[in-house]
Each structure stands twice: as structure tokens, then as C-alpha cells.
Amino acid sequence: MAENDVKQQLQDDLKAAMKAQDVTARETIRFTMAAIKNAEIEHGGPLTADQTLALLQRETKRRVDSIDQFRAAGRDDLVTKEEEQLAVLKKYMPRELSDAELETVVRAAIASTGAESVKDLGKVMPVVIAEVAGGADGKRISAMVRSLLS
């Protein structure tokens, strides 16, 4: 999705959430739109599609980290709220790669970089991350690379 497509989709979904009185979707979309606007101000102009995707990935990761922390603290009410917000954000993210698809990309990256052991993780990770473009999170990629290099 191009940056303008994402912004337009967010705007359309915000209207729908307001009409449906979906508080979680409304708040999540507003926070996301504000984050995009702030990034545009900081950047000095409209964001590229890659920059928008990176911003959405950061927002998604922030929710995942919050869920882990709230779960560890026994705050199930906050876990539920963050999970609902995460579900809203995932609508704007690229499709998640299956394990088989990710393994194919990782194997190709290992072959192209000549990686031979876990010490070469730093060579492989950037190649895989660029290739999957948001189709898998860093922890999942790292685990796959480590398992294939060991």
C-alpha cells in the first residue's frame, strides 16, 4: 500500500469507526494518523511508502511489547485493550509470511551472503528484513536465521 493509500484508508476507516461508535478503532486510528502527521513534520514532507510501513511496524511493535509487559504484570484488562488496538493496526500491515515462505527467503539470503554460522547473523538479517518488507517481525526472522545457521 502506498503512503497516500494508507492515509486515505485510515481516514475512511476513522469515519466508519466514528459512525459505528467503535471507540477502540477510532482511538487507534487517530493515534496512528497523529504519528504519521508528526513524522511528516519531522521529515519535512510526505512520507514514502517505506517510511509509512516502518512507522506502522513501530506502532505494532509498541503494542506487542506493551502486551508482554502488561501480561507479566497481571494486567489482563490492559492486555485486552492493547490486543484490540493491535488487531486494528494489523489491517494496515502487509500480509504475514508463512513459516515456509519465510524459510525460503532466509535460505536465499544465507546463500547470497555466504553466511556459514550464527556469527554471520549480521550479514543475513538486513537482507531478509529488506526482502520481507514487514511480512514478518524481527524476532521471528532472527529465530529462523539462527535455526538455519546452527
- Render pLDDT for 87-96 as a digit per residue (tens, 0 to 9): 999 999 888 8
| Residue 6 to residue 47: CA distance in whole angstroms | 11
In sequence order, the 6+-apart residues with CB closer than 8 A to the CB of 79 are 67, 70, 71
CATH 1.10.10.410 in the chain, residues? 99-149
Given this model, what pLDDT does residue 4 score?
64
| Residue 103: half-sphere exposure toward Cβ, Cα within 13 Å | 5
What does the pLDDT read at residue 120?
83
For 1, the grid coordinates are 500500500
Q: Per-residue pLDDT tens for 1-51? A: 555 688 899 999 999 999 999 999 999 999 999 999 999 999 999 988 888
Cα R_g (the chain), whole angstroms: 18
**What is the average pLDDT value for the chain, to the nearest integer?**
89
Angstrom CA distances, 126 to 18, 20, 68, 120, stand at 40, 41, 25, 11
Average pLDDT over residues 52-60: 89
Q: Is the pLDDT of residue 57 over 60?
A: yes
pLDDT at 3: 56
Is residue 62 over pLDDT 60? yes
Q: Give the dihedral of Cα atoms 91, 93, 95, 100; nearest 10 deg.
A: -130
Cα distance between the two ends of the chain = 36
For the question of whether the overall pTM of this predicted structure is more than 0.85, the answer is no
Q: If we measure between CA atoms, which residue out of 103, 108, 143 comes closest to residue 127?
A: 108
Q: What is the CATH number of domain 99-149?
A: 1.10.10.410
Q: What local confidence, expressed as pLDDT, does residue 24 receive?
A: 95
Which residues of the chain form CATH 1.10.1510.10? 3-90
3-90 belongs to CATH 3.40.50.720: no
How much is the average pLDDT of 135-147? Answer: 86
